[in-house]
Amino acid sequence: AQSSSSSSLKPSKADHVMNKQEMQHFPWSEKVEQQLKDSFNLSKFRPLQLRAINLTLLGKDLFLVMPTGRGKSLCYQLPAVCSTGFTLVVTPLVSLMEDQIMYLKSIDVSAAMLNASINKESVKTVMAGMTDVKSPFKLLYVTPEKIAKSKLFMSRLEKAYNANLLSRIAVDEVHCCSQWGHDFRPDYKLLGILKRQFPKVPLLGITATATSSVLKDCEKILCVSQPITLTSSFNRTNLYYEVRKKNSDNEASISDIASLINSKYKDQSGIVYVFSQKDAESVSTELQKRDILAYPYHANMDPQDKSRVHHKWTSNKIRVVVATVAFGMGIDKPDVRFVIHHTISKSIENYYQESGRAGRDDHPADCIVYFGFSDIFRISTMVVMENTGQQKLLQMVDYCQNFDRCRRSLMAVHFDEMWNEEGCNQMCDTCRHAQDCITVDITQHARQVVQILELAASNNEKMTPLKLTDAWMGKGPAKHRKMIQTTTLSRLKAEAVIVQLLLRGYLREDFSFTPYTTYIYIKLGRKAPLLKSQAHSLTMKMRTTESEPAEVSKIKKYCHNAMTDQYIKCNTDNWEYSIPLYNVSHRCACV
């Protein structure tokens, strides 16, 4: 289905399957090969590149979906030099444009650009060049505003079109068209005019966002009917994915990151993603105190400061950029060895993109996310107004709370792909440590939490996540402690149970808005009534390494000769463990 005339995204494993657009010889084939080597100094095509190039040279409308850093630009740059006239390239950021122009200049490919920062004189020259039959430039980069808002430019384009000089239209980062994507740009909404006004010109939409709903939306907005969609696998096999528990103490959480960087990634480059501008400043300062050359990067910095940090990092003068998500598009440093998330991303798609800035050179790199309880709610307040914000955040939380399924397989569903353990090849923490996972019964714990919330509701008291955890742990006001069953679980475990109940619908978040801030409270979810039934039970997965030494070792000590077939229950900590891996064979005496 890959290159049939459909916009279906489904199977995408056929990266290496030779296809007729790759085998076939076209009138331009020699020229394409020669330009690849002579102009672009590349020895061979990466998967899908040649197929995309041939299809667009055949005049087809095409959507090309490839992970970042795989070489999408070549798929319009190379056809541009092999065609008469020029290729119009729509790009969302001036910095992206400048990078490309600089690169093209260095390889002697003529290119021009139009954006708000270009002076009048150059604009004139470029506008004249558009209708010059000698085509002084092969690529013309513009921001979407130009197309949406400049009548002069559009009429010039019309002239070029009539003179058969507009050879191709490339819309880079095409997902910016869709509100469902993660980078919506209002001006992209107006790009439909291109295909309506220049129907004969092939359009090439390019993106690293593979969600089929987003692509469908882009198709509509750009007025292309049934483009061919080429999708390469999103499986970045050289990236190792891992989730770590974030220390609830802020200082300690930064120390964890610092010692990781100082030990495992000595002298290597990386990114630490944080939640806010304030965090970017404070975390980078803290890392500096711990001997790491780290600089902050966020949207509120001067453009010069931003590009200075970017540049210093690219040239290895600083090692770590501590950044908000503003540090994203246009980053093309090949040797990023780690991307650490100090705070979880707001969705798995975002996480994939952000972490995907690691290992562009195809050498191994690590993507580590620190998962903390309170961060869930910080992000929750941020995404509460987004359509599916809450749902996507919970998927990210589920990714972090997962201890037994391959992390790749959890990501793959977001790209309509299936990657199995083979596709992971032990390159995620759960595949590597899957056998260290146990199932614990949390029914009683869930009932305790529900009881606290019922009591609170009857007193008209609202429970924030923190207050709920505190109350359950017996840290609340004394009057509560008498009326509720407090838990003996550690805070981390208590939090893990509460998160699990949220994910499974036994609890839910409830928001309250003031003009200044948004408050989050925990309320009973739709499944909470199920717990009234004595027969209802609830389990969750836990890593054994997390239980040891406190619980499991205790149980092992207590119960060494008394266990059931695969199931032991021990009253030492109110946990029920089902531990197939311990080869248990007798019932525990202490049950």
**Least spacing, CB of residue 495 vs Zn ion, in Å:** 25
Taking the complex as a whole, the smallest distance from the CB of residue 189 to ligand ADP amounts, in Å, to 22
* Near Zn ion by CB under 5 A: residue from 321, 336, 367, 424: 424
User: Binds 406, which of ligand ADP, Zn ion, none (CB < 5 to 8 A, cut-off by type)?
Assistant: Zn ion
- Rounded to a whole number of angstroms, the minimum distance from the CB of residue 109 to ligand ADP is 13
Q: 33 to 62, contacts with ligand ADP by CB under 6 A? A: 42, 45-46, 49
Asked if 426 contacts 241 with a C-beta cutoff of 8 angstroms, the reply is no
Tell me which of Zn ion, ligand ADP, none is bound by residue 383, counting a contact when its beta carbon lies within the kind-specific cut-off of 5 to 8 angstroms.
none
Distances (CA, A) of 416 to 13, 225, 239: 11, 21, 19
Residues 367-396 as x/- pattern, contact with ligand ADP by CB under 6 A: ------------------------------
Burial class (CB in 10 A: 0-12, 13-18, 19+), 241: buried
Alpha-carbon dihedral angle through residues 393, 396, 402, 408, given to the nearest 10 degrees: 150
CA distance 100 to 340: 28
Q: Which is nearer to Zn ion, 306 or 408 (CB)?
A: 408
Nearest CA-CA partner of 344 in 309, 383, 288, 296: 383
Q: Using an 8 Å Cβ cutoff, are 163 and 157 in contact?
A: no
Helices of type H across 336-406: 348-355, 373-383, 389-401
Does 411 sit near Zn ion (CB under 5 A)?
A: no
> Which of ligand ADP, Zn ion, none is residue 290 near (CB under 5 to 8 Å by kind)?
none
Residue 428 DSSP symbol: B
Provide the minimum distance between the beta carbon of 18 and ligand ADP in the complex, in angstroms, as a whole number: 16
Which of Zn ion, ligand ADP, none lies near 71, with the C-beta cut-off 5 to 8 A by kind?
Answer: ligand ADP
Query: Which of 78, 367, 369, 406 lies at the binding interface for Zn ion (CB under 5 A)?
Result: 406
Reference 222, options 241, 256, 199, 251; nearest CA is 199
Q: Cα(282)–Cα(287) distance, rounded to whole angstroms?
A: 9
The smaller minimum CB distance to ligand ADP, of residues 47 and 474, is found at 47
Q: Binding segment for ligand ADP among 66-74, 135-143, 258-266, 531-539 (CB under 6 A)?
A: 66-74
Six-digit token string for 44? 């061979």
Read off the tokens for 546: 């997390």
Which one among 73, 430, 500, 544 touches ligand ADP, defined by CB under 6 A? 73
- The beta-strand segments (E) located in 525-570 are 539-543, 568-569
Question: Could you tell me which stretch among 72-80, 305-313, 389-397, 502-510 binds ligand ADP (CB under 6 A)?
Answer: 72-80
Helices 29-38 and 74-81 meet at what angle, rounded to 10?
110
The single residue among 66, 287, 367, 502 that binds ligand ADP, judged by CB under 6 A, is 66
**Count of residues engaged in binding ligand ADP, rule: CB under 6 A:** 13
> From the list Zn ion, ligand ADP, none, which binds 74 (C-beta under 5 to 8 Å, kind-based)?
ligand ADP
Count Cβ atoms below 10 Å from residue 225 Cβ, excluding itself. 11
Catalytic residue, chosen from 10, 20, 44, 72, is 72
**Shortest approach of ligand ADP to residue 99 CB, angstroms?**
8
DSSP-derived letter for residue 275 is S
Are 336 and 269 a contacting pair, CB within 8 Å? yes
Strand partners, 231: 65
489 is a contact residue toward ligand ADP (CB under 6 A): no
Tokens of 310: 């970017």
Interface pick for ligand ADP out of 70, 156, 185, 357 (rule CB under 6 A) = 70
Minimum gap (Å) between residue 436 Cβ and Zn ion: 14
DSSP collapsed to 3 states, 86-153:
EEEEECCCHHHHHHHHHHHHHCCCCEEEECCCCCHHHHHHHHHHHCCCCCCCCEEEECHHHHHHCHHH
Q: From residue 28 to residue 47, what is the string marking binding to Zn ion with x (rule CB under 5 A)?
A: --------------------
Structure tokens at 400: 């972090």
Q: Where are the beta strands (DSSP E) in 212-300?
A: 228-231, 239-245, 269-273, 294-297
Helix (H) or strand (E) holding 524: strand 518-524
Residue 524 near Zn ion by CB under 5 A: no
Q: Is 475 exposed, middle or buried (0-12, 13-18, 19+ CB in 10 A)?
A: middle
The residue sitting closest to ligand ADP, measured at its beta carbon, is 71
Considering only 358, 400, 431, 449, the residue that binds Zn ion (CB under 5 A) is 431
Per-residue interface string for the shown chain with ligand ADP, residues 329-348, x marking contact by CB under 6 A: ---x----------------
Half-sphere CA count of 469, side-chain side, radius 13 A: 17
Q: Does 95 bind ligand ADP (CB under 6 A)?
A: no
Shortest Å, Cβ 359 to ligand ADP: 12
Residue 328 touching ligand ADP (CB under 6 A): no
Q: Does 68 contact ligand ADP by CB under 6 A?
A: yes
CA 119 to chain centre: 37
Judge whether 72 counts as a catalytic residue: yes
**98 scored as a contact of ligand ADP (CB under 6 A):** no
Closer Cβ to ligand ADP, 343 or 353, answer by number: 353
Distance of CA 69 to the CA centre of its chain: 14
Residue among 365 and 406 whose Cβ is closer to Zn ion? 406
Radius of gyration of the chain (CA): 28
Binding residues for ligand ADP, per CB under 6 A? 42, 45-46, 49, 66, 68-74, 332
Binding residues for Zn ion, per CB under 5 A? 406, 408, 424, 428, 431
Residues annotated as catalytic are: 72
